[in-house]
Amino acid sequence: MHAGDDTTHWRVKLVLHYDGRDFYGWQTQTNRRTVQGELSALLGRLCGVDAVSVTAAGRTDRGVHATGQVASALIPNRFDERELVRALNALAPSDLWIESAEPVPESFHPRYDALSRTYVYRVGLSPGSRSPFEHRWCWPVGHSLDRERIDAAASCIAGEHDFGAFAKSGQPERGVRCNVSSAFWREAARDAGILEFEITADRFLHHMVRYLVGTLVATGRGLRPVDHVGRLLEGEPGLKAAPPAPAQGLFLARVDYTSGQTEAKARGKGESE
C-alpha cells in the first residue's frame, strides 16, 4: 500500500517518455493507437479494470515525442510509487517508458496546474541526419544554417506576445497571447551536427513551436529576413510564417509546477502543441 495512507485510492503523477512515431498523438481516438489510450489500458490491467482515466500536461500531436510528459490518474491504493513504476514498465511497449511516479493531492491537474512547459526541437545539419536511424528524431535539413541569423531572429521571442501568426488556424477562445520565458538555439550535447531550439512558456498554441522553427530555419537559409519573426510578433499586416517544421523533431521536454503542487492555478491555461 501507499505509505501512510488509509484511503482506498491515491492520485499519482507520472513522468513519461515516448517515441511518437507510431502513436497518433496523445489523445484517445477510436481505432487509433495513442499514448493516452496505451497508458490508460496499462493502468487498467494493473487495477483490474478495462481502463483508467488519465490526463496529461500536453496533448502532443501525431509524431511528436516526449522526454518529460506529465500525466495523472486516480488509482487503487495497492502499491507504492516504486512498485507502480516497475509494474508499468514491465507491461509497457518499447516506445513508452515511465520515468517516475509520485503522490500528489487529489485536486492536482497536470495541465491546469502547470506553471510552464519546455519544448525542444532538433534540426539535423549534416547529410547523415537523413539516415533512417537519425531522421526519425530530427528535421533532417542536411546542411548548415547561418547561426548568427537564427540566433538574432530568435532573440525577440522571449516575453509576452501575440503568437497568432505562429499557430494553426482555429485557435481556442482563450486567446493567442503567450508568455515565453526563454527561447534559444544550442548545439546538442551528445549529437554532432544537431542544433536544438529550446523554448519555455506558460502556454503554447497549436503547432506554435513548429511554425517558429520553420520560420527560423527559413531565416537561417536566407529565405526570410532576420527581423521577420519580430515583425510577425508585432502583427505586421500581410506577413506570414514559413511552413511548420515536421513533427518528428519536436519533444515535450519538461513541465514545471510549484514545489508543493498544492496551489490552485487559474483555469484557462493550457497547451496544445
Catalytically annotated residues? 61
> Which contiguous run of DSSP H or E holds residue 56?
strand 55-56
Length of the chain: 273
Residues of 106-121 as b/e, b for ≥16 C-beta within 10 angstroms?
eebbbbbbbebbbbbb
Spatial separation of the C-alpha atoms in residues 113 and 134, rounded to whole Å: 35
CA trace torsion 201, 204, 207, 210 (10° rounding): 0
Residues 6+ away with beta carbon under 8 Å from 243: 214
In terms of Cα–Cα distance, which of 75, 58, 55 is closest to 67? 58
Spatial separation of the C-alpha atoms in residues 72 and 65, rounded to whole Å: 18
Spatial separation of the C-alpha atoms in residues 104 and 123, rounded to whole Å: 36
In terms of Cα–Cα distance, which of 171, 229, 241, 235 is closest to 205? 171
Residues 6+ away with beta carbon under 8 Å from 85: 98, 99, 100, 101
CA 171 to mean position of chain CA atoms: 18
